[in-house]
Structure 1
Amino acid sequence: MYHFFRTQKIIWMPQELDAFQPYPVEIIPGKVFLGNFSQACDPQVQKDLKIKAHINVSMEMGPFFAGDSDNLLHIQIEDTPDVKIIPFLRHLCHFLEIHLELGSVVLVFSTRGISRSCAVIVAFLMHWREETLQRSWAYVKKCKNNMRPNWGLVTQLSEWEKIVLGDTVTDIFNPPY
């Protein structure tokens, strides 16, 4: 599916490996990717993955889709434990669902791609699949093993679970949260 990853090379030089930039991780095959700000600003990544829309969960403004509210959802929040993300989740889920229906490829990103953007993806999967925080968390963790939403986001994901499922099922005080 990703022809640009194929190579005939067997042995890589250290300089080549240093220059190699990782791509965003695939959350929904060929449709939703999770990455960081530098990946979102890389035109080669945009082209290779055929990105048609962005969800930017950071304070920075990316170069793609600026001023295009149909293809850019920019949620300007800091990565702090007291930040409120719950008010944005319904709109965010709606934005993602529309793009999935249209067949667009969406990149969800934050500054480092490990806290805010991961929390957003977990929230979307809980909504879209109508599943628990625990199941969505495990799925995203399998795709992106260095995910680590801050504690404030985790508690809001627990609140979101209650909104989506009608009750809190997941105990966020047990690991791995």
Structure 2
Amino acid sequence: MAGIIFCDATELYNMLNQHTKYSRLTEPIYLYLVDVRSKYQYDESHVITAKRAKTDAVGNYLMPQDVELECVKYCVVYDGHTKSLDTEGPAVQYAKLLEVVSRQPIQILNGGYEHFSACYPFFRTQKIFYMPQELDDFEPYPVEIFPAKLYLGDFKQASNKQVQKDLKIKAYLNLCHEKEIIFTEENNILILHIPSSEDTNLFSHFPMICRYLDEQLDKGSVLVISTLGISRCCTAVIAYLIHSQKIALKDAWAHVQKCKTTMRPHRDFVQQLSKWEETVLKNKITDISDPYY
């Protein structure tokens, strides 16, 4: 058995928003999200794509028949408000049933539906069935680096007024090559544009990027973007984590990669990040000769 672990609200939010060309929610063995609340509560609202756990006539949970659970990458279970794995609540009971066959740890949503829906009310729905085309058309949100504060995404997401409204974005760091127009609902939203490409020496901009993020994160939520959202913006966020958290490049890298699994900083940017690690921490800790980087 693979065990049972907690999943924080940010982690589930980021799972829901992973994408390549299409949302990863289109993959049948990517995420199995299960709601173990009452039918009334589920019908009233639940997290998008969540399925309700089935029970028999006397209320015992049944093993799901609509998914190859042993192949699923992420299996997340939630009830109303579970905050402890030691409490024998509905989420824990169902997770124990699933862990018998799962190869991956069964994850229980920390704080349950109440906490998640309070953090991300725009991910609540009454929709039960999704056609493949609907999942293909699902538009992921920027991933969350710091809860309700720092986000990372692409230009398309930055241009989406609904994303801006839902995430309460107050400032942007735009690393696109051209100074594309980001349409905002509010006139007081600040946009810092640093024209860049894969050939840009971002190291020289790291001090300004860190000052800007320090200042703006004190005021509200910030979205860092590049054209595709996989290289330049990831590099900037990793540099900021090294600066703000005083952590090694390898640890900042791991955190961003957990949030954005498709991140691919250009090799030159990795070398610049290594130099930045040494500048900030006064020590070269991370071995970037490792192919992992």
- Mean Cα deviation higher: 19-28 or 5-14: 5-14
- Of structures 1 and 2, the one with the larger relative CO (CA 8 A, separation 6+) is 1
**2:207 is equivalent to residue 90 of structure 1:** yes
> What is the CA–CA distance in structure 1 between the aligned matches of 2:268 and 2:260, rounded to whole Å?
20
**2:141 is equivalent to residue 23 of structure 1:** yes
For residues 87-131 of structure 1, give each alpha carbon's deviation from its aligned partner in whole angstroms, at most 9, with x where no partner exists.
1111110111111222x1100000000000000000000000011
Contact 1:33–1:107 (Cα < 8 Å) also in 2: yes
Which runs of 5 or more residues in structure 1 are unaligned? Answer: none
Corresponding residue of 2:196: 77
Corresponding residue of 1:123: 239
> What is the CA–CA distance in structure 1 between the aligned matches of 2:234 and 2:129, rounded to whole Å?
33
Tell me the TM-score normalized by structure 1.
0.92
> What is the CA–CA distance in structure 2 between the aligned matches of 1:124 and 1:52, rounded to whole Å?
18
Deviation of 1:151 (Å): 0.4
Deviation of 1:146 (Å): 0.5
Deviation of 1:79 (Å): 2.1
- The one-letter amino acid paired with 1:75 is I
1:88 is paired with a residue whose SS is helix
1:12 is paired with a residue whose SS is coil
Tell me the TM-score normalized by structure 2.
0.57
**2:217 is equivalent to residue 100 of structure 1:** yes
5 Å matches for 1:137-176?
A: 137-176=253-292
> What is the CA–CA distance in structure 2 between the aligned matches of 1:150 and 1:112, rounded to whole Å?
13
Contact 2:170–2:189 (Cα < 8 Å) also in 1: no
More helix by share: 1
Identity of aligned residues (%): 48
Which runs of 5 or more residues in structure 2 are unaligned? Answer: 1-118
Equivalent residue pairs, number? 172
Task: Pick closer, same or farther for the CA change 1:8–1:69 going to 2, 3 Å.
Answer: closer
Q: Could you say what the CA RMSD is over the residues aligned between the two structures, in angstroms? A: 1.5
> What is the CA–CA distance in structure 1 between the aligned matches of 2:125 and 2:142, rounded to whole Å?
19
The structure having more radius of gyration, on CA atoms, is 2
